[in-house]
Homo-oligomer: A and B are copies of this chain.
């Protein structure tokens, strides 16, 4: 089996904001270090759980710069570079590549619904062509329940054929196991093409199918538990380790609160920094009562 372009447990890093809604860079850098020390192989800066698209392109690039300047190796960073505009996505992608980052996780343009496969192919192709840098490794981001724009196996096949090696993989955040299995079929045709799942709940199945790992929101609060599963996916008790990742996600889903706002509340609790519970609109912070209800549901509490 050839080596995959990327492997491991990655956190789509939550983005702390100040009261004025700007990114709290010191808290951000501290958190990035915490996640790497806690078990993550690397970080995805500006994924969906990072509220990526809620930040302007200029803010996103400045935050990547700040993280690298703080001493976090760019080789551990994948940057979410999706935007409604392919020119903006190309600017973000070029910046990530020129900063030495490991890869770009790229959404399709997400404003117009119902666009064709041809339109999506041209969109990603335009980003590749504008960046025009052989160091680029692009991971395509399938999260149709949020973006509204599914990426089909045939589109991914076409991209992998057109940009061999550089079309480096896919993140499947649909949560649909059958879709994930279909992506393994695509990957088998392209050496190095790495399939990541967006929920750690499918991590064991993804590893069994030859995938690269997970890029999971829950890795923001449970990096060590997910890393334990990743390291031991071939162990006899792997199912049990898989089940040990479940309780926080289940508690959030049972609460009915927004996943991103909930994860931030848990980080506020873990770090003792109350400001962590803030989100940028259009998301809404949990109220104090909601925060207490969420934390009370977590039994055992999430370890700090």
Listed in ascending order, the chain A residues whose CB lies under 8 Å from chain B are 21, 53-57, 59, 83-88, 91, 108-113, 115-116, 118-120, 122-123, 126, 145-149, 280-284
Contact = CB atoms under 8 A, between A and B. Distances in A.
22 contacts: A53-B84, A53-B85, A54-B84, A54-B86, A55-B87, A84-B84, A86-B280, A109-B282, A110-B111, A111-B146, A112-B283, A113-B145, A113-B148, A115-B284, A116-B282, A118-B284, A119-B281, A120-B281, A120-B282, A123-B281, A123-B282, A148-B148
* Number of identical protomers: 2
Contact of A57 (B56, B120, B145): B56
A122 B278 CA distance: 13
Contacts of A282: 86, 108-109, 112, 115-116, 119-120, 122-123, 149
B122 A284 contact: yes
Nearest to A283: B119
Contact of A111 (B54, B85, B116): B54
Given A86-B282, A123-B282, 9 more contacts: A53-B85, A53-B111, A53-B112, A56-B83, A56-B87, A59-B87, A109-B281, A115-B283, A120-B281
Top 7 A-B residue pairs of the complex, sorted by shortest distance between their CB atoms: A122-B281, A119-B282, A53-B111, A115-B282, A53-B84, A56-B88, A123-B281
Nearest to A122: B281
B146 A113 contact: yes
Contacts of A21: 86-87, 126
A284 B110 contact: no
Given A21-B126, A281-B109, A85 B55 contact: yes
A236 B207 CA distance: 72
Nearest to A279: B119
Nearest to A91: B56
Given A110-B111, A111-B110, A88 B57 contact: yes
